[in-house]
Structure 1
Amino acid sequence: MAILSSNESLLEPSLDKARHVKYWTRCLKTYLPNQYTGNDSNRMYLAYFIISALDLLDALKTVPSEQERRDHVNWIYHCQHPNGGFRMWPGTDFGKLSNEKNAQYDPANIPGTYFALATLLIYDDDLTRVRRADCLEWLRQMQRPDGSFGETIVNGRIEGGSDSRLGFCAAGIRHILRGRTSGSIDIDGQLIQDIELDAFVGCVRMAESFDGGIADEPFHEPQAGYTFCSLGALALIDRLNRPNGHDVKETNGPVDPLRVLDWLVWRQTELTDPDAGLDTELCTDEDAPHTQHAEGQHIPKGDKGDHGMPAKQSPDKTVGGSMFDLLVDGAGMNGRTNKVADTCYAFWVGASLHIMETPTLCDQSAARRYLLGKTQHGVLGGFGKFPGDLPDLYHSYLGLAALSLAGSDQVKPLDGGMCLSREARERLPTIWKSWRVDA
């Protein structure tokens, strides 16, 4: 690839689609590397990454055969729990040996349920085999009095975390199974109550930070993944405040959407190497009498601290990547202030901006160059976490998802709010119509 003049960018690298399809085909049809042994009980989310990635690459109808696609759908339904929800894997299903004593080892799981329903949508399943009433009743039981959601119910007690990742999955389950209908709904003669929406919104608002990001709980450092999950959940329950001024409501969240956008915009950075330092040449006494901070504060001349500019890194400070990685001028996203870019945050930040209906506030072409020129693996396909890293399922899927949101036409359009193809989400209104719920 030719190098352009010093005042021009390099030509944008391209997605090696054949290698990516090959990578995901290996993941689907052969054993995963031994590092995934510890994730054996999380097979549902691994299946979701694989199936959704092949969908984004428009290879889902060619890589698995028709019989394999039916088998995959049947496997998901085999993980459906008789008391509502889905398991993460079938290994805890005792079958005919199930009893009250061993029930504690076989609970349904909030993330597993969302991944199961999302994967069924991707496979164009009509969800008629979902125990919808049981699932929604189980979901309501998963909410704590403070509005947060747990992960499982064991011996009548809600277990697991309480952060917005679980809240997002809960909101996604609710959205898929009852559309935009709020309040009580009748399902086959059974009256199902809604979750406590106000209490959940309160949890999100309590986790908002002074600088605009959203954390896992009050007074913790904000992080882009939690910010996405919070904004995504609020959008799925129709309680999101977007930054259009006149539509901000006190009963919705976040409290200050403009401050959230400010925090998201400053997540884009050229800093890529975890072991490198900041390039202080960006802001010197000679070339910058003062600079403008994101919040409008002027930093005096000569201040070597937080100069309010996106972090930039010199090529000689980048290690572990290819020669092209040293040259490409892409800028990825970090998850927290003063951290390096990471493939997954290109999605968490990019999708957050899409949810807030402001996708162009970031430099999308720079994000594409970062993903394709720095973390795309040139031999195996997929994406690594950092430049030079081997690919893994998590970053490889979110790399494709982020690439779609950044305007690439080499993958299918993505619905950032649900992290699956737009084509898959657009199947929901037909399903809702059959259930007679609000679309």
Structure 2
Amino acid sequence: MGAAYPSIFTLPHIPAPSDGVDTGTIFEQRDTEGAITDVLDSQPPALMTDGGTTLRKAEHTQFLASTFFRLPSAYVSLDASKPWLMFWTVHSLDLLGVALDQGTKDRAINTIMAYLSPAGGFAGGANNSHLPHLLPTYASVCSLAIVGNASATGGWDRVAAMRQETYDFFMRCKRPDGGFVVCDGGEIDVRGTYCLLVVATLLDIITPELVHNVDKFIAACQTYEGGFACSTWAFGVGPYDDPTESTTRAAMAEAHGGYTSCSLASHFLLSSIVPTDGAPLASLAPSFPAPIDVASAVRWSALMQGEAGEAGGFRGRSNKLVDGCYGWWVGGGFPVLETLLKREKSRQDALHADTSAKIAIVDDDGNDEWADEEAMHHLFNRVALQEYILLAAQKEPGATGGLRDKPLKRPDLYHTCNNLSGLSIAQHRLNHSPTSVAAKAAAFDDTKGLPPVNPTKPEGGWASEEERQRARRQIYASVLGWVEDEKAELVVGGSDSRVNTTMPVVNILGLRLKPFVDYFYGQA
């Protein structure tokens, strides 16, 4: 499997140290390690060639189908998360390569459109009984990108007709310091920021007032560990007062995998607004977006991958248990981190043009070798993550199907989707290509597109139509700028275990992303 990505079966299984102090946390850790060991001992390893343990696609498809048309009673607790149930299902089927017939797609479209709120955005359930919410808005829009189309009944036209209302909803959620409440009266959470920025990017409704101070809010969420917290704490502000632009802020809590993923993706989307060539955008601050500590985020993310005794899965916080969903929430952040590292290196090279820095890597034969950055390995163990998903996150053959958190847990739609998304990230290598971005920007036709949204204040829009078009061109080119390195594909479990390629940041297939973005930017 290569020295760069050693199998968990070739690494020592060392129990987590307790430092001689027994706590509830260490007991749970030992129980988890024991359950994983039992699973690894009871089934054949996943091999690089066909044979051994594979991804049991038929079982997982059956599991997804069993809940698609009628949910078990246990799902009643997710009544306000219906768009997520749809997204987890249709994206999982997409990753597995299962095509839906048009009748089923039409039913899915009609279901999603019932969540579209006349006040803008999507609700977590029927729009006559639920408030619009940033998180279901992301799930609904991405689901429509998967099952919808540009026809009169495909859903996209109705979303396009509601762009202004959606934008106004986003601005109602905006707070002066750059944070967003997730709904009317809701909490401020970086997950909401991520969901909003993805939707605003896809629907072509980015404005200066929408992103004002958002970069600073994201940067303030980074903790001393390197990961990101859910929100920030404002010093000197009363419990019922909104923080101002000048309020001093610090990360509110410990670093967490989900919040880190959302923060990194948000920072990436914000950085994608700024054109790489030509004059800066006058409507944005010269320092936009506010910098984050990329090296520290890389360190924290890499350290979240478990040891061989934990089957190489990811945990979401320091000293917590591994969980299959973090294959996406942490593993899915590495393509973004690699891109941000390359950008930092390019900036440093521009500052020191007389140097030709090279990055040392260790080749598979163990000999040090100087190589260009393009030859860098992934920042995490791609083989180990796949082994966790195939061996620990799958139930035994012949069971109900679906993927789970860890052994002894039950499979569910959330973990099925995020395990498969993490598996895709581990199998496929995607690079955000400056060449691809430049080509798409050059081919962009700025005479086409939907009408611009109206900012809430005259000064909240772009300084000129030329500036707006420069931003649109860059955003469009950047969101479609991911290119797969097919030579770097690495599939554990043989061809039967291969899943389709999901796009970093947005988390839908590229073949779904491009038609959707083309439609809303008028480039179809």
By the TM > 0.5 criterion, same fold? Answer: yes
Secondary structure of 1:81's partner? Answer: coil
For the residue of structure 2 that corresponds to 1:220, the secondary structure is coil
Once the two structures are superposed, the pairs formed by residues 259-274 of structure 1 within 5 Å of their partners are 259-270=296-307
> Does structure 2 conserve the Cα–Cα contact (< 8 Å) formed by 1:124 and 1:427?
no
Please point out which of 151, 163, 169 is paired with 1:132: 163
SS of the aligned residue for 1:152 comes to coil
Q: Percent identity?
A: 25
SS at match of 2:157: coil
Matched residue, 1:178: 204
Residues in 2 aligned to 1:426 and 1:204: alpha-carbon distance in whole angstroms: 27
| Residue 216 of structure 1: how far off its partner (Å) | 1.1
1:60-209 equivalences under 5 Å are: 60-61=99-100, 65-90=101-126, 92-93=127-128, 106-126=130-150, 127-130=156-159, 131-153=162-184, 159-178=185-204, 182-183=207-208, 194-195=209-210, 197-209=211-223
* In structure 1, distance between residues paired with 2:510 and 2:501: 6
**Mapping for residues 13-24 of structure 1, pairs under 5 Å:** 13-24=53-64
SS in 1 for 2:330: helix
Structure 2 partner of 1:421: 509
In 2: Cα distance, 1:17 partner to 1:173 partner: 30
Contact 2:109/2:144 (<8 A) preserved: yes
1:239 Cα deviation from its structure 2 partner: 5.7
1:36 corresponds to which of 49, 67, 75: 75
Classify the secondary structure of the residue corresponding to 1:406.
helix
Listed one character per residue, the Cα deviations across residues 228-252 of structure 1 (whole Å, up to 9, x for unaligned) are: 01111222233699xxxxxxx9532
Equivalent residue for 1:48?
87
Contact kept? 1:79, 1:86, Cα under 8 Å: yes
Q: Which residue of 2 aligns with 1:321?
A: none
Checking the alignment, whether the CA contact within 8 Å between 1:368 and 1:406 is kept in structure 2 is: yes
Aligned mates of 2:316, 2:94 — CA distance in 1:
27
Deviation at 1:387, TM superposition (A): 1.4
User: Residue 498 of structure 2 aligns with which residue?
Assistant: 410
Deviations 1:262-292 (A, max 9, x none): 111111113xxxxxxxxxxxxxxxxxxxxxx
Cα distance 1:376–1:254, how it changes in 2: closer, same or farther (>3 A)?
farther
Quick check: 2:105–2:148 contact (8 Å CA) kept in 1?
A: no
Q: How does 1:235-246 map to 2 (within 5 A)?
A: 235-238=268-271
| 1:258 matched residue in structure 2 | 295
87 and 331 in structure 1: CA distance in 2 versus 1, 3 angstrom threshold = same
CA contact (8 A) 2:202 2:517 kept: no
Structure 2 residue matching 1:20: 3-state secondary structure: helix
Q: Report the 3-state secondary structure (helix = DSSP H, G, I; strand = E; otherwise coil) of the residue aligned with 1:40.
A: helix
240 and 350 in structure 1: CA distance in 2 versus 1, 3 angstrom threshold = farther
Matches of 1:11 and 1:85 in 2, distance apart? Answer: 43
Kept in 1: contact 2:46–2:54 (CA 8 A): no
Picking from 295, 313, 316, the partner of 1:335 is 316
Shift of 1:174: 0.6
TM-score, normalization by structure 1: 0.71
**Equivalent AA in structure 2 for residue 168 of structure 1:** Y
Q: Is the 8 A contact 2:163 2:203 kept in 1?
A: yes
| Per-residue CA distance 1:114-157 (angstroms, 9 max, x = gap) | 1111111011423111111211122122111221111222xxxx
Structure 2: 5+ residue stretches without partners: 1-6, 13-44, 48-52, 151-155, 232-250, 275-285, 340-376, 428-490, 492-496
Letter in 1 for 2:425: L
Which amino acid in structure 1 is aligned with residue 117 of structure 2?
H
**Contact 1:240–1:253 (CA<8 Å) still a contact in 2?**
no
For normalisation by structure 2, the TM-score amounts to 0.60
Q: Which residue matches 1:306? A: none
Distance of 2:320 and 2:166 partners within structure 1: 39
Deviation at 1:255? 2.1
**Amino acid in structure 1 at the alignment position of 2:99:** L
Cα distance in structure 2, aligned partners of 1:259 and 1:22: 42
The residue type paired with residue 48 of structure 1 is: F
C-alpha contact (below 8 Å) 1:239/1:252 kept by paired residues: no
Q: CA deviation at 1:406?
A: 0.6
Matches of 2:134 and 2:252, distance apart in 1: 25
Deviation at 1:357, TM superposition (A): 2.7
Alpha-carbon separation, structure 2, partners of 1:134 and 1:435? 23
Paired with 2:334 and 2:229, the residues of 1 have a C-alpha distance of 17
Spell out, residue by residue over 1:89-112, the C-alpha distance to the aligned partner (whole angstroms, 9 max, x if none).
11x51xxxxxxxxxxx54211111
Cα offset, 1:204, TM superposition: 1.1
1:268–1:331 Cα contact (<8 Å) kept: yes
Listed one character per residue, the Cα deviations across residues 364-416 of structure 1 (whole Å, up to 9, x for unaligned) are 00100011011112311111111132201111110111000010462110112
Give the root-mean-square deviation of aligned CA atoms.
Answer: 2.6
Q: Determine if contact 1:150/1:160 at 8 Å carries over to the other structure.
A: yes
The 8 Å contact of residues 142 and 152 in structure 1, kept in 2 or not, is answered as yes
Regions of 4+ moved over 6 Å: none
**Structure whose residues are more often helix by fraction:** 2
Shift of 1:34: 2.2
- How many Å separate the matches in 2 of 1:146 and 1:73? 36
* Residues 190-213 of structure 1: CA deviation (Å, up to 9, x unaligned): xxxx40x24111111111111211
One-letter amino acid of the counterpart of residue 303, structure 2: W
* Uncovered stretches (5+) of structure 1, i.e. residues with no partner: 94-104, 154-158, 184-193, 242-248, 271-311, 314-328
Supply the distance in 2 between the matched residues of 1:81 and 1:75 (Cα, whole angstroms).
13
Residue 261 of structure 1: SS of its match in structure 2?
Answer: helix
CA contact (8 A) 1:24 1:50 kept: yes
